[in-house]
Structure 1
Amino acid sequence: MRRVVVFGTTGSGKSWLAERLADRTGLRVVELDALFWGRNWQPALPDLFRHRVECETREDGWIVVGNYGQVRDLVWRPADTLVWLDLPLPVVMGRLLRRTVKRAVTREELWGTGNRESLANAFLSRNSILLYALKTHRLNRERFARECEALAGEKRIVRLCSRRDVERFALSPLP
């Protein structure tokens, strides 16, 4: 396990799991959000985003965190292990709500960009991450199922469907 992708719907615990795996393996974590988002929540231009991802995954030994379709070919193709956090919507929404409120209250800066979450944006905006999670959870599950099925036999695919599965995997002996 030298090139790992941790993916799942927003709020599923991707970064948390990636950090645990990095602690155990010594692999470095590559947060796609950090490569995508600029100041004032401005997305990177597609070519720049792809270039950043290519640079970060050029060397062997990484754990990529994220779901960005526009760079999936760059991270899934060389990956040897895909870890899918496929948690139930109530679990995801509970985690996401706690994380969002905590970040908004503490004014935590995200990815060194100066970006911060706010309660107004979380609860009163069309750009709400909570609304986004509600709208994309089922669609992500269907899409990820198709994509993983197409890669079965080519990659090690680990599908984690409960909190207990995630905790066991985070602590289990690694191949």
Structure 2
Amino acid sequence: MNFLEHPQRISVVGTSGSGKTTLAKQISQRLTIPHIELDYLHWQPNWVEVPNDVMREKVSQALSGNAWVVDGNYSMVRDIVWGKADTVVWLDYSLSVVISRVVLRTFQRVVKQQEVCNGNRETWKTTFSRESIILWALQTYHKNRRQYALLLKKPEYAHLNIVHLRSPASAQNWLSLIPTYYE
């Protein structure tokens, strides 16, 4: 794992359900920097997506500061996020870990009627439909892994420090090292 002496702008990526938001919140707390969830910028109430140009403007504004941690996989803003980032943390967990996490999280959200973002909630109906986040995670898992492996080798992202984490244990280990390496 590579470490920067003082990361200021961190992007956390990974397949749906891998734990991006949870890890980003933990990084935010440890480094006392703002946490930005791309889902909040992308989804309006009633699961209405903002237009791409609006999303790009919202992301540019949200990332205008000198220090932040952002989570999300929106390709329409990757050039903005990664262009400004100094570090990408890639949660590259096994399919069994991802699916078990997304299933548990989805059922907890439905049963407890937890808000996902901007008043939006997952329901039993969506859980067992073509819009299911569980189905989405299954359909995109292998594609995302291949895509990130290729993207992170591109010359336009050579400035990024890549932290490639392959298990929740390695993520927690890396997180525990942040104060040692980043103070």
TM-score (norm 1): 0.95
Q: Give the corresponding residue for 1:33.
A: 39
What do you get for the CA RMSD once the two structures are aligned? 1.1
Which of residues 124, 131, 134 in structure 1 aligns to 2:135? 131
Q: Secondary structure at the match of 1:77?
A: helix
Runs of 4+ in 1 over 4 A off after TM superposition: none
CA deviation string 1:31-85 (max 9, x = no partner) = 0000000111000011111111011001111101000000001100110000000
SS of the residue 2:114 aligns to: coil
Q: Does 1:148 align with 2:152?
A: yes
Residue 153 of structure 1, CA deviation: 4.3
Instruction: Name 1:174's counterpart in structure 2.
Output: 181
CA apart distance, 1:150: 1.8
The unaligned stretches of length 5 or more in structure 2 are: 1-6
Structure 2: distance between partners of 1:83 and 1:109: 25
- How many Å separate the matches in 1 of 2:76 and 2:158? 24
* 1:158 is aligned to 2:157: no
> Partner of 2:8 in structure 1?
2
Cα deviation for residue 110 of structure 1 reads 2.1
Distance 1:121 1:78 in 2: 35
**Structure 1: unaligned runs, 5 residues or longer:** none
Aligned to 2:106: 100
TM-score (structure 2 length as normaliser): 0.91
Q: How does 1:3-152 map to 2 (within 5 A)?
A: 3-111=9-117, 113-122=118-127, 124-151=128-155
> 1:118 is matched by which residue type in structure 2?
T
Return the alpha-carbon distance in structure 1 between the equivalents of residues 175 and 102 of structure 2.
20
- Write the distance in 2 (CA, Å) between the matches of 1:27 and 1:119: 36
